[in-house]
Amino acid sequence: MAQLRSLDALHDEASLLDQIGPRILSATEALLACQRADGHWCFELEADATIPSEYILFQHFRGETPDPQLERKLGAYLRRIRGAHGGWPLYHQGRFDVSASVKAYFALKMIGEDPQAPHMREAREAIIAHGGAAKSNVFTRFLLALYGAIPWRGVPTMPVEIMLLPKWFPFHLSKISYWARTVLVPLLVLQVLKPKAKNPRGVRIEELFTIPPAQVRDWPKGAAHQPWGWAKFFGVVDKFLKQSEPIFPSATRKRAIDTAVAFVTERLNGVDGLGAIFPAMVNSVLMFDALGYAPDHPHLIAARKSVEQLLIIKEDEAYCQPCVSPVWDTALAAHALLEVGSEACEAAARAGIGWLKPLQVLDVKGDWSAQRPATRPGGWAFQYANPHYPDLDDTAVVAMAMARAADQASGGPQGSDAVAIARAKEWVEGLQGRDGGWAAFDADNSHHYLNNIPFADHGALLDPPTADVTARCVSMLAQLGETRATSPALARGLEALISTQEADGSWFGRWGINYIYGTWSALCALGA
């Protein structure tokens, strides 16, 4: 009987193997069909309801003439992704999230959805059941304050004067992640100026509150990751700041605003936008508006265009992406095609790598240099252009693809390929953290006490080393011929990776947001 079961298992395995070849061929054809004429790939990057909702509210904040067809498609998208719980989650089929739901409801009402329609009524009831809009996170409350939906006393104070704090101070921009600082800096200016949304349709959402919105005096203290003691402490700090802010010296305030504006304009990044991420782009537009920039000012035009480029408009639906991912997509596609190994696939992979090569950042010392001033630049960013913020993950994957293509074509990197790979390796090694691991954008961005400040209630203020990025950097060093004996960076990276293994044998992958992602990344590194 055991022998029969063994034969059946072998038969099933053979049957599966028979299917693999045709499926690889089909997937290869699909991937090649997606390659663009200049050699690169860029797939859609879908997030959750918050980004398209914020796009709608952004337009109405500025009083822009709406595009009825676009609004109809955005509304169709938001209705489709609503959860069975009546509201909106932060991930597919996830649990109800009050902040995402408040934004989505507000956006749908803004574009003319009937509040008494079944989907709106269900969403409203779900929001109220979870404590109402007053339970929203800090960034949602900031948006509500800009719309006049709640008073500013319901938002934690972050004085713009933090732009002038010395680096040794417990809070400094260099101590938070790149995405946090690019989002926060224009917000600091907005909190000082407190512009009010034009909101030409006069849409309000009092029905989402369990108390009159004007009575909202406080912000919810203590997210799941924030201990009660820290929440209490920052509550006292916030009360002090609110009472003392009116007497801050005006000259100091002006200097702080000028410093914030200079930070934004230096990193504005043309039509690719501040930080090349949606929230920072939108905040930069609102900041320039609030400062009185003319509609035809080059900074405002570029920032506005950067937002529009994130739209995905289809026949019946539309949504807004958080950013674009051409470098990551192209590097991964090249790896897949090199694995297939046919002449056509290798040619397509080389075309993609040829597109990637000039995007290497070699002449801009970005924010990462605050921690590693002696390191030369040499990384790639995730997006088409984001020179102040290249990342370790993309850099490692691109360098591995470039080296792999050269190995398969000519026995190893030569000429400009060898130079590009060497600069990437140098930059990756230079950004290794004190603990041996690698983060995505910075070194030693591990000031965990800052996760307790009010503006960190989303739990993503920092950029500490992670298993998935560490694994990718270890894999790159190993592929380039390094060993524990020849590379202290690889040896330390392996130790850091092994130390982050969970008790059940898995690794958490922050940038894939799950354990499968982290585990396969770690296994690839250990196998390399």
Q: Where in the sequence numbering do the catalytic residues fall?
A: 393
Q: How many residues does the chain have?
A: 528
As a whole number of angstroms, the distance between CA 102 and CA 141 comes to 10
Q: Quick one: tokens of 255? A: 């200097």
Q: Is the dihedral of CA 92, 95, 97, 102 positive or negative?
A: positive
- The C-alpha angle 471, 474, 479, rounded to 5 degrees, equals 120
Which helix or strand (DSSP H or E) is residue 144 part of? helix 138-146
Task: Yes or no: say if 377 and 427 are a contact pair by the CB < 8 Å rule.
Answer: yes
Q: Is 293 exposed, middle or buried (0-12, 13-18, 19+ CB in 10 A)?
A: middle
Give residues with Cβ within 8 angstroms of 127, minimum separation 6.
87, 98, 101, 102, 105, 133, 208
**What CA–CA distance (Å, rounded) separates 284 from 303?**
7
Cα angle: 85, vertex 86, 90; to 5 degrees: 75
C-alpha dihedral sign at 286, 287, 290, 296: negative
Question: Do 364 and 306 meet the contact criterion of CB atoms below 8 Å apart?
Answer: no
Please state, in angstroms and rounded to a whole number, the distance separating the CA atoms of residues 178 and 166: 18
Q: Are 507 and 522 in contact (CB under 8 A)?
A: yes
Separation of alpha carbons 421 and 423, rounded Å: 5
Helix ranges restricted to H, 309-460: 326-340, 343-356, 392-410, 415-430
Distance CA 259, CA 133 (A): 33
